[in-house]
Amino acid sequence: MPVSPTEGESPQTPTPGDTMKHTENTPNPIPQETAYMRNGYADRDEYLQALMEESSDAEAVEMLADLLGPEEDFDGLVTALEDYGLI
């Protein structure tokens, strides 16, 4: 059973990174569509696997993805791979 805020406190506000949507009338959170889903992939792992299969150097894809982080998956990572001639 959810605990309501005590007097003077406000309910927790979701942060921008939250991937679940919850409303008072919905008992369970609803998963939100991610950038990976919008681009035809189930998640980041599936997306990176596809890039590794397309690339001439799967290790470089993995290293650059780790270095740049998920926020650059559809921009900086792709640009870096193209710049190095890996895709």
- In-domain check, residue 79: yes
- In-domain check, residue 2: no
Instruction: Give the N- to C-terminal CA distance of the chain in Å, as an integer.
Output: 51
- In-domain check, residue 60: yes
- In-domain check, residue 16: no
Which structure tokens are listed for 76?
């900086």
One-letter amino acid for residue 23 of the chain = T
Range of the domain at 55: 36-83
The pTM for the full model equals 0.66
Across the chain, the runs of DSSP E, i.e. the strands, are 20-21, 30-31
The radius of gyration of the chain's CA atoms, rounded to the nearest angstrom, is: 19
Domain count, the chain: 1
Distance separating alpha carbons of residues 37 and 15, to the nearest angstrom: 20
Q: Tell me the pLDDT tens digit for each residue of 31-85.
A: 799 999 999 999 999 999 999 999 999 999 999 999 999 999 999 999 999 999 9
Higher-pLDDT residue of 4, 48: 48
- In-domain check, residue 64: yes
Longest dimension (CA), the chain: 60
